[in-house]
Structure 1
Amino acid sequence: MLAFLKTLQYLGICLSALVAITIEKNSVPRADNVHWVSLDFKTILTWTIKASNYTYTVLYSEDDRDWEENPDCIRLREPECDLTNYLEAFDRVYSADIRTEPVTMDYDDILEELPHTYSPPFNPYRESNISAVKFTVAFADESSVIVNITEPLTGIHRQGKQLSIRDILKNDLKYKISYYKSGSSGKRDIISDSSLAEVSKLEAGDGYCFMVAAFIPSRPKNTQHGAWSVQLCANRGSNVLQELNLGAWVGVVFTLIVVLVITVTVTVLCCRCYQQRQSTHTSQTSAPI
């Protein structure tokens, strides 16, 4: 009977310790809502956390290989880790492990007991968003224009050079040019393989508006398009005054008003001065000797 009671006592102690460990483990804050934020191949892993005294260390893996630490993302207190310079092979699938750690810890004893949160897989080459491009439009002749696109720069630097999206995507990068005639709702699209494109068969004398976006047809459909540029309009058949926008017209009208006011003011002052001189001269010549 005594042995049985001792067994029950030991069992109670073990159960109590197990419950205490479980409660403590469940109270350790875990990283939540883990997702990748990537623009022009600058890639940051973000998550949400609860206020606590714990820190977070990020490990990453390429194509399910061994986990590696990012030296810049050890014992973080902020919920983000910049992995841009560590995802060097762009067309690979990466995963991240966000490990919760106390400020001081014995790695040998409790490392495996701490919670881990794993990210969804991410492929920079196929999923990084592309920002809006800038471009200019110049008329080549009466019925065609040349669209000159400035390719966005990435967050990647190699050998002292900041790479463009063309340096990474190479021949996979194309541009979609969307345009329409002023006053018309019908849009047309063309695809250009390079950053210099000709849009032809335009109607002479009509104005056209253009928008441009990076286009990567080899990607999944939801990431094929970059952000659309601002709209740029041009009119080949009009004279200079007709091409002015509202702001320019206001400036022209204001300038004309200022010139008119100055001219009238100068004319009035000159007339007054002339009248005063004539009056003085008449007074002098009519005075008695």
Structure 2
Amino acid sequence: MTLIKALLYLGAYVTTWSITTGGGSVPTAQNVRWKSLDFKTILTWTVEKSEYTYTVQYFDGENGDWITAQDCIDISEVECDLTKELMPLDRNYEADIKTESDQSDYGMDYDFPHTYSPKFNPYRESNISVLEFSLMDVNESTVILNITHPLTSIIKRQKQQTLKDILQTDLKYKISYYKSGSTGKREKIFDSSTPEMSGLDPGQSYCFMVAAFIPSRPKATQHGAWSAPQCRQGDTHVLQDLSLGAWVGIIFILITVLIIFITTTVLCCRRNQRRHKSLQTSQSLVLR
């Protein structure tokens, strides 16, 4: 009896070993990546199509245990939304994607393959989306930008948090501006979400772009996405904003028009002189 049991266990072990190693038949998560925008954080991976499922666990580097993500147990998808799990935000998290199957088919319990993610800190690495803003003129040389903050996927005390709620004083605002029609850009950094841009040339048209700026982050993730430019209409005449090529074209047209005018005037004068001379000749013949 003991021999039969030993043979059964040996057969189960050989079967398990052949499944987990032979020909790579058990699919393992590959290309594990973190995708995060405005603190909505999703773990993604690729895998060969099969009947296997996947369970995701995460570890925050401070607590001693791996925690199973409640929405990512025995899933067939190749992504796991960990936004609600990764709290607090300012920690270095690591995830484990474990291949799962009905282990009873093999007569014994054994551990399927695991794939570990790179470490990720949502607070310091989540990408920041575009900030919306509007312009308000104060006077000819000053304009105020009113910046609004996008909502995030983080909820605290039943309130959806804005970007400012999460980053607080770490959030700065980088303003890029330039004269309309010019290629030279300047940049300024402000603490306030209503920065006042003063010292502008009176009457000139200016364009502005805004981006979130978090100097406490690593350099690669300090900048949010730049907004589309918004322009303040100046009081200057439209001709003052024309480029050199446009001025050359205008001058060429004016010279052409002037030449045509002078040529037409000369021809008309000559025709009138001929007509007048012909009339005088006719009158002279009649008098004779």
Q: Under TM normalisation by the shorter chain, which class is it?
A: 0.7 to 0.9
One-letter identity of the residue aligned with 2:18: I
Residue equivalent to 2:216 = 218
1:109-258 equivalent positions in 2, closer than 5 A: 109-112=108-111, 114-237=112-235
| Offset of residue 23 of structure 1 | 3.0
Aligned partners of 2:12 and 2:108 also within 8 Å: no
Matched, 1:98 2:93: no
One-letter identity of the residue aligned with 2:177: Y
Equivalent-residue separation in structure 2 for 1:238 and 1:147 (angstroms): 22
Equivalent-residue separation in structure 2 for 1:31 and 1:108 (angstroms): 25
Q: Spell out, residue by residue over 1:143-162, the C-alpha distance to the aligned partner (whole angstroms, 9 max, x if none).
A: 01101101111111112211
| Offset of residue 111 of structure 1 | 4.0
Using a 3 Å threshold, how does the CA distance of structure 1 residues 111 and 135 change in structure 2: closer, same or farther?
farther
Using a 3 Å threshold, how does the CA distance of structure 1 residues 108 and 207 change in structure 2: closer, same or farther?
farther
Equivalent-residue separation in structure 1 for 2:15 and 2:107 (angstroms): 20
Equivalent-residue separation in structure 2 for 1:21 and 1:82 (angstroms): 31
Aligned partners of 1:64 and 1:94 also within 8 Å: no
Aligned partners of 2:204 and 2:235 also within 8 Å: yes
Q: Spell out, residue by residue over 1:205-235, the C-alpha distance to the aligned partner (whole angstroms, 9 max, x if none).
A: 1100110000000100000000111111111
One-letter identity of the residue aligned with 1:25: T
- The match for 2:20 among 19, 22, 25 is 25
Give the TM-score normalised by structure 1.
Answer: 0.74
Unaligned 5+ segments in structure 1 are 1-9, 240-289
Using a 3 Å threshold, how does the CA distance of structure 1 residues 64 and 118 change in structure 2: closer, same or farther?
farther
Aligned partners of 2:12 and 2:107 also within 8 Å: no
Q: Spell out, residue by residue over 1:107-144, the C-alpha distance to the aligned partner (whole angstroms, 9 max, x if none).
A: 994342x0000000000010000001110011111101
Equivalent-residue separation in structure 1 for 2:107 and 2:122 (angstroms): 35
Largest Rg, 1 or 2: 2
Equivalent-residue separation in structure 1 for 2:13 and 2:52 (angstroms): 22
| Offset of residue 18 of structure 1 | 6.6
Residue equivalent to 1:277 = none
Equivalent-residue separation in structure 2 for 1:74 and 1:144 (angstroms): 57
One-letter identity of the residue aligned with 2:172: K
Equivalent-residue separation in structure 1 for 2:191 and 2:72 (angstroms): 39
Residue equivalent to 1:40 = 38
Residue equivalent to 1:281 = none
Q: How many residues align?
A: 228
Matched, 1:71 2:70: yes
Residue equivalent to 2:286 = none
| Offset of residue 189 of structure 1 | 0.5
Percent identity over the alignment?
56
One-letter identity of the residue aligned with 1:188: R
What do you get for the CA RMSD once the two structures are aligned?
2.5
Residue equivalent to 1:54 = 52
Unaligned 5+ segments in structure 2 are 1-5, 238-288
Residue equivalent to 1:249 = none
Aligned partners of 1:42 and 1:155 also within 8 Å: yes
